[in-house]
Amino acid sequence: MLGKKTHSMNKGSLWSLPIPLGGPEIGQDEMARQRHQAMRNLRNVEADDVYLSHDDPYIDFSSAGLYLVGLQTTVATVACAATSVASCWLLPIAAISAVRTLAITSAIGFICMRKPIRIGKVRGVVTLFNALRPCVAIYISVLVVEQLVHTCVDEGSTRPGMTRHVVFHVMMTIITMSGFVRAYKPYSETDAPFLVTSAALVIVALLPPPATPLSGPLCEGASLWAAGERLLRAFLFSALYVIHVYCSPPYRNAIHDLAVCIMRCAAAAVWVLGCHIFVVWLGAIQAMVALWARFGHENALPTTNYSSVDTRSDSGLSDAELGIPPPPVLSSGNTLVTASNYGGYSGYGAYGGYGGQAFDNGYDDYKKSEVRAPTPEGSSSGTAGSDGVPVDASQLALIAQQAKGQGVSKARLAEIAASM
């Protein structure tokens, strides 16, 4: 009865009343298990934030899982091209509708690019996927624009001359050249290739190619050759777009960085969708140029973390060759030590005294000739040096006399002066 009353009360008083029959032990075990599970979930969330953060600028290009989203983008674009062709093949001519084809193609693209394909926790997947996702939308937009070109024309209208054909192909040539410029310098911050491509596209919009009645990629039953050409263009366009995104990825998963990356990569790859069929193979050349410009130079250059430091003076000779002794230093025990104090280095001017008996003799000489620098409290007549340690004038004279004893000859000085 007491247990029933306890459970019938509110939750706020549950912890303040005693629970019989081992209830507290069971509650503590359950609380410990839940606390452990909550900590594990928190660690998993923190790990996801580290590896998949929207603000994480680091992209792990060494991980193979990072390139799955590029393959996903290419497959989705080719699937959209195949859907647009199949929608016109599977229906009779009277039932073909450009709106229906556009709706089915857009649905396929949305399903394929709804989520990124990931294997493990790879840093930078979200950033690159957000930059790659517009590739399908750009391709569908090009299909819509191409379909609009063939509207507002009568079946009995006369075809225009060759002027529009010439203008269109000249503009496509300019766009192709700007794409190669971007591939040659993928990390360049200039937007000149994008501006050139935009200007050429504006001219194409003002002087579009000749229209053909009852044709277009959304309502025309394409032949096998035309269908293969569409699939090839879709593949090359998506491949070029993906390669340019990987060669010049956005710095952060922010809207302005993503927009800049998308515009530059789309401008570098869009020429494949409008060029002549006999120059489509140039897309493979552009892809190789972009990959070499981005990753080839890094592998060719030697990796040097440190550069050599020139320790010589302006005259081209070292201090040892000039016979200049090292400056006095303050050792432990407040001892002022000069070059002559170090027995192992007593033959410094003559390049000697670096081991064995010379070191032992030098150490004895050092113990005999060490100079005790007075402390600030013990010396009031000394002269303060640059480091604030008082040095007596007699000690400075002793140091100068010891340094003079290691001087070089006049002939050596004349030789050094001549070399300068």
Helix ranges, 113-223 (H): 125-132, 134-149, 163-184, 192-206
Do 247 and 140 lie in one domain? The reply is: yes
Check residue 58 and give its pLDDT: 75
The answer as to whether 2 is a domain residue is no
The torsion of the CA quartet 68, 74, 80, 82, rounded to 10 degrees, works out to -110
The answer as to whether 222 is a domain residue is yes
The answer as to whether 187 is a domain residue is yes
The answer as to whether 179 is a domain residue is yes
Residue 384 is inside which H or E element, if any?
Answer: strand 383-384
Check residue 35 and give its pLDDT: 74
Do 258 and 111 lie in one domain? The reply is: yes
CA distances from 13 to 18, 21, 402 (A): 10, 18, 91
Do 387 and 256 lie in one domain? The reply is: no
Do 280 and 380 lie in one domain? The reply is: no
Task: With beta carbons less than 8 A apart as the criterion, state whether 48 and 121 touch.
Answer: yes
Q: For residue 360, what are the domain limits? A: 319-419
Whole-model pTM above 0.85?
A: no
The answer as to whether 22 is a domain residue is no
Q: What are phi and psi of 280, to 5 degrees?
A: -65, -30
SS3 330: strand
Average pLDDT by stretches of 10, the chain with 420 residues = 44 44 57 75 56 57 89 96 92 84 94 89 88 95 92 66 87 95 90 94 91 83 90 96 94 90 95 93 94 73 48 53 57 50 44 46 51 46 47 56 54 62
Do 250 and 391 lie in one domain? The reply is: no
Number of compact structural domains in the chain: 2
CA distances from 199 to 173, 193, 244, 265, 363 (A): 13, 10, 21, 16, 82
The answer as to whether 42 is a domain residue is no
Q: Which of 219, 261, 40, 93 has its CA nearest to residue 48?
A: 40
Beta bridge partners of 335: 331, 372
Domain boundary among 263, 297, 331: 297
Do 354 and 386 lie in one domain? The reply is: yes
Domain boundary among 297, 329, 352: 297
The answer as to whether 171 is a domain residue is yes
Residue 336 is inside which H or E element, if any?
Answer: strand 335-337
Check residue 385 and give its pLDDT: 45
Do 276 and 399 lie in one domain? The reply is: no
The answer as to whether 410 is a domain residue is yes
Check residue 376 and give its pLDDT: 46
